[in-house]
Amino acid sequence: MPVEIDGKLYYWTLEVCQEMCLSRSTILRWLKSGVIQEPIRDRRNWRIFSEEELDKIRAEVNKTYGRKGLKPVETTMKTC
């Protein structure tokens, strides 16, 4: 469930993985290699992604996996 901070919605890593049908290791690899930027962290030092960051990840998923003929990631939350 997204958390609201200063009027903006943020998503935990698990929620991003579920929405994008990606593994946690893929997200972490993309962060380490600079494919996506490191998001802010909460008081527990957990990553939280803004909706803008989700859009960037969605674009990367579609760019990466769209070439393989897979269906593009939709803009709504879903389960894999």
Residue 39 belongs to a domain: yes
DSSP three-state, residue 78: coil
Instruction: Give the domain CATH number at 28.
Output: 1.10.1660.10
The count of structural domains within the chain is 1
pLDDT tens-digit readout, 61-70? 988 877 555 5
Position 1 confidence tier, pLDDT thresholds 50, 70, 90? confident
Angle made by CA atoms 30, 32, 38, in degrees to the nearest 5: 80
Sheet strands (E) in the chain: 3-5, 8-12, 40-41, 47-50
The arithmetic mean of pLDDT across residues 7-27, rounded, is: 93
pLDDT tens-digit readout, 29-40? 999 999 999 999
Classify the C-alpha dihedral 18-21-27-29 as positive or negative: positive
Does the reported pTM lie above 0.85? no
Range of the domain at 56: 3-66
